[in-house]
Every structure is written in structure tokens, then in C-alpha cells.
Amino acid sequence: MNEKVNASAPQFDKDDILVVNNLVKWFPIKAGFFKRTVGHVRAVDGVSFKIKRRQTMGLVGESGCGKSTCGRTILRLIPKTSGDIFFDGKNVSTLGKDEMRAMRTRMQIVFQDPYSSLSPRLPIGEIIGEAVREHKIVAPDQFDDYITMVMEACGLPEYYKERYPHEFSGGQRQRICIARALALSPEFIVCDEPVSALDVSIQAQIINLLKKLQQDFGLTYMFISHDLSVVEHISDIVGVMYLGDMVEYAETEKIFSAPLHPYTKALFSAIPIPDPDAKINRIILRGSIPSPANPPHGCKFHTRCDHCMEVCKYAAPQWKEVEPGHFCACHLYDNDEEKAKAEEIMAKEKAEGNTIENEAEVL
């Protein structure tokens, strides 16, 4: 499991609201009569990053690369396998039941599908207010006014309180989901693909609402999405994930203007541009994402990479700061010392007779 320890010791900065250090989440695969564990799906496999207060971090990647799992593990909706998550200086994973309960009001989530994430049997006022009452956010006599205030902040008129979710369109429902998260006055919200189920014109409304709320309430977002144009619009910092690893992490402008990792380059070149005359040099990746239960040896991207070298097949690249504030994990940017190290690993692997079996998996 510890074949790569990417992150340096956590450095706490007052600005950092969230520090994630070498986060790992493996899901066991059970088989047979006794349900023995026969393998692991390596959903998140050593991810480290930081988010500053009042900023938005975008997390992009193909489906199945572990971005949603990452978001959920941070909120402790699913237990982690190893690694550390520090929220505002506190280690989230070691908190007791009561402490965690208090912490939950500070971090919230907005789910992807507004059609399945609202209880069809509760009126809107109750959906938004349930957790407020439970956590005693406001005094009981101010409860109604508070819910009205939250709803108005999200662009929902007061008379919606008595209505039920089926009476609303997708955009309105997503507003309700946002209001529900906002009602606990959190500092940090994980937005798990909040706009991908919505139409383009409604998407714009929700994105604008999220931006406005961030300004008004000083929120920090982690914005998970596979729509790169939306991520570019809303984020300050972008992390790119591939097969459970983070391959690149930098400020939005930097990463979009000069991506380093070959995967990021391919991903960005695949974005359709709404201009019939636009000439772009598309890098078309071969095949599809390999199974996270049996990821390729060495660099996980080597099976689809155009710049694949011999070392990539044997040694996993180190997570390092290539330029100030621009992190990347790729052998292309190795310095002499790292090169020597990688070659040493390769020589060792070759001597042990480890051949590359993953090649056949890519069609």
C-alpha cells in the first residue's frame, strides 16, 4: 500500500481550510462462499491537496477516476482506508461521534441528481429545516424566519415551503438541495457534479447562484465535475485525477494555459469548442480507462500515453512541484536524481522478471 508516499508532512497555514494528505480509499471485492476479500478497487489511491478559505477547488477527471469517492471520503460519508484529512486544523478522521456531529454542520454536500436526492414525502420547508432543527442552529421561535431567509438567498419564494419536490423542475430542485446545505451555515461545501443533470440555460442559473452565495457567505467549495468549461469558470484551483491518482494540481489559469501532464493535455484538447472554424490539435486517447481493481503497473497512465517511456512501465512517478504552485506526477519532468531513482526501480523490476501484463487490457 505504501509504495508511494507522495506528500510531505502537513504544513498548517491559517488560510488552508482543508488539507488532505495521502488519502487512500480502497473498496474490498468480496467473492466466494465466505465472502473473502479477493482484491481491492483502488478508488482513491494517495491523493494530497489543500484548499484555501473562500476559494473553489475544481476536481476533474473521467467517470470512475475516484473524484466523487474523494469528496465523500473527505466528509466522512464513507470511511477512509488511510491518510489524513485536516479540516480547519482538526483531523476529521479521529473525531469522536459527538465532535463529528458538530463538525457535520460545518461541511456539507450538494449531490448530482436533484431528482433522487430529495425525499418525495417531505415538503420543501421540512427538507431544508430538518437538519436545522436537529442541530439547533436557531432558536425555535426564529425557525420559520430563518428558513425563509435561506430560501430567499437561494432564489426560492416563501410559498414553496408547503410544496413537495415532484412539483418542481430540475433547476428548482437543485436550488432546494443548495438551500438544504446552506441552512446549516457551513464553511465548506462539496458540490458533487451539481449541474451535470441540468439544461444549459438552467446550468448558468445554478452556477451564478453558487458564485453569489460564495461571496455573500464566505463559502469554500470543492467542485467535482467532468465538464471542464464549467470548472474553469468557477474554480480558483484545479486538480486533475486519473484512476485514483491526482496527476496535476495548479491554479486554474496556469493549468488551462500550460498543462504539463500528458493526460491533462489530452483532456483539455478534447473539450468541444462552440466555433465551427476553430482548429484545434486534438489529442485523441486510445482505449478507455483501465479497471481500478487492477491498475497498470508503474505510471497508471502509461497504457494510453503518447509520451510513454520505458521507465513509465515500471516506476510510478513522484508527486512533485514542477513549477511554484504547479504540482504534477509525470516522468517527463524528472530531474537527474529522480531519473536515476526511477531507472534503478526499473532495473530491479526487470531483474525480478516482472513483465507488463496490463498491455493486453487496452483494446
Partner 1 sequence: MDNEKTKKKKKSSYITTSESRKITRFNRRITKKLEKKRESASKDPSLYTTKMKDPENVVEFDNVCTYFFTDVGVVKAVDGVNFNIPKCSTVGVVGESGCGKSVTSLSLMQLLQRPMGQTVGGEIRFNKGDGTAYNIVNTPNSVMEKIRGNKISMIFQEPMTSLNPIFKVGKQIDEVIILHNPEMEKEAVKERTLEMLDLVGIANKEGVYDMYPHELSGGMRQRICIAIALACSPTIIIADEPTTALDVTIQAQILDLLRNLKEKLNSSIMLITHDLGVVAGMADYVVVMYAGRIVEKGTAREIFHNPSHPYTIGLMKSKPVVGQKVEELYNIPGNVPNPVSMPNYCYFRDRCEMRCDKCDGAYPPEVKIGDTHIVSCYRYIDKGEVLGQPKSVDVEELINE
In terms of Cα–Cα distance, which of 51, 45, 49, 63 is closest to 20? 49
Degrees, nearest 5: CA angle 22-24-26: 165
Q: Which stretch binds partner 1 (CB under 8 A): 51-59, 143-151, 230-238, 293-301?
A: 230-238
Q: Is 8 in the site for partner 1 (CB under 8 A)?
A: no
Window 184-223: contact mask with partner 1 (x via CB under 8 A) = ---------------xxx-xxx-xx--x------------
Q: Is 115 in the site for partner 1 (CB under 8 A)?
A: no
Residues 6 or more apart whose CB falls under 8 angstroms from that of 110 comprise: 174, 177, 178, 181, 189, 190, 191, 192, 194
In this structure, are residues 206 and 195 in contact, taking their beta carbons and an 8 Å threshold? yes
Number of residues in contact with partner 1 under rule CB under 8 A: 39
State the Cα–Cα distance between residues 41 and 294, nearest whole angstrom: 8
In this structure, are residues 74 and 92 in contact, taking their beta carbons and an 8 Å threshold? yes
The one among 26, 188, 223, 268 contacting partner 1 by CB under 8 A: 268
Q: Which stretch binds partner 1 (CB under 8 A): 16-24, 71-79, 97-105, 277-285?
A: 277-285
State the Cα–Cα distance between residues 73 and 87, nearest whole angstrom: 13
State the Cα–Cα distance between residues 350 and 335, nearest whole angstrom: 22
Q: Is 233 in the site for partner 1 (CB under 8 A)?
A: yes
The one among 3, 141, 277, 337 contacting partner 1 by CB under 8 A: 277
Beta bridge partners of 237: 57, 251
The one among 1, 38, 78, 273 contacting partner 1 by CB under 8 A: 273
Q: Is 272 in the site for partner 1 (CB under 8 A)?
A: yes
Interface residues for partner 1 in 282-301 (CB under 8 A)?
Answer: 282, 284-285, 288-289
- Which residues in this chain contact partner 1 in the complex, by CB under 8 A? 62-63, 169, 171, 199-201, 203-205, 207-208, 211, 226, 228-230, 232-233, 256, 266-278, 282, 284-285, 288-289, 363
